[in-house]
Amino acid sequence: MAQVQTVTGPVEASELGETLIHEHLMSRDEAILVQFPHMGTVREDPIEHVTSPGAEDVAAEFMAAAVQRGVKTVVEPSCMFLGRDVALMKRVSEKTGIQIVPCTGIYSYDHLPIPLISRDADQIADLFVHDIEQGIQGTDIKAAFLKCAADEPGVTENVEKVHRAVARASLRTGVPIMAHSRPASDTAPRQIEIFAEEGVDLNKVQIAHCGDSPDADYIESLIEKGVWAGLDRYGIEMYLPFDQRIAAHLALLERGYANRIFVSADSCATIDWFPSETVEQLAGGGAVDDWTIKIVHDKVLPALREGGMTEEQEHTMLHENPVSWLTA
């Protein structure tokens, strides 16, 4: 069987075990981190956790909680602009025993720094291929997949360039793609179209955040194009309340799509996106503490089981699909 890259080296795909497909050890803006390190992150000490030692402790706590719940592997889609730090990922992996699958790519809704505006899609693809073949951030840790994003501004010129760069790096290396989408802006069809135009096998493409839509028909229409769908933001009530996420999820299971969907929380052990006094907005009136890596096992799986999910469907989503997508 094929191997999958983790931060502690390649593992046999059969060794991934129970896998959460979309969880972040941290999420932070690199420029803020360097220029305004006093700005603070959500959760815990605002100053200390911007720097690696504090954030690392929280990340290790979160990963330990996942291990306790039976998780063996976490797919970590932090790339440029999300504060990717593979050295930290490796330390957390060694500390907790969790396997962490890292990526390369650019998470931007439109902005690109000048050095990337002045380069074309092929030159940006070269940067990604380096991370996949040589290693990330001066280490020998290799990226297992590619990441890009489209959100409220839609597929802008810059976003399209990143998607084409990701597609070309995938074609050159064979690694799969995860694309952040925004159902409320219907970004996914155009994202998928670009990958198809570039000649990417859509079985390699995972559209993240499909589960922000309450509409199972919408999610089904994407799956029917040949991609994987992430129902991966449980706990982010602001984008869609829990019960509506569960209802769409159960509808897709009933329609026979267990083998095309993922369940995850898109949790961030620490995040600097929001002022801590307004983070409650994210929880949308729900409990802020619900949006952690623990929610999948503590709330989501019990609710899905109660709604009729079979053991086989659960195994397919958490064990088989990650292997199928990562080795597609």
Binding positions for Zn ion, rule: CB under 5 A: 266
Nearer to Zn ion, 21 or 318 (CB): 21
Cβ 254 to Zn ion shortest distance, Å: 27
Neighbours of 199 (CB within 10 A): 10
Nearer to Zn ion, 56 or 151 (CB): 151
Q: Alpha-carbon distance 233 to 183, whole Å?
A: 12
Nearer to Zn ion, 175 or 265 (CB): 265
Cβ 84 to Zn ion shortest distance, Å: 12
Nearer to Zn ion, 141 or 148 (CB): 148
Cβ 326 to Zn ion shortest distance, Å: 16
Q: Is 292 left (phi over 0), alpha (psi -120 to 50) or beta?
A: beta
Nearer to Zn ion, 183 or 313 (CB): 183
Cβ 239 to Zn ion shortest distance, Å: 12
Nearer to Zn ion, 82 or 309 (CB): 82
Nearer to Zn ion, 131 or 266 (CB): 266
Cβ 283 to Zn ion shortest distance, Å: 17
Closest C-alpha to 244, from 255, 254, 257, 231: 231
Cβ 311 to Zn ion shortest distance, Å: 28
Neighbours of 254 (CB within 10 A): 14
Cβ 248 to Zn ion shortest distance, Å: 19
Q: Which two tokens stand for residue 144?
A: 């297992």
Amino acid, single-letter form, for residue 323: V
Shortest-Cβ-distance residue relative to Zn ion = 266
Residue with tokens 């998780």: 71
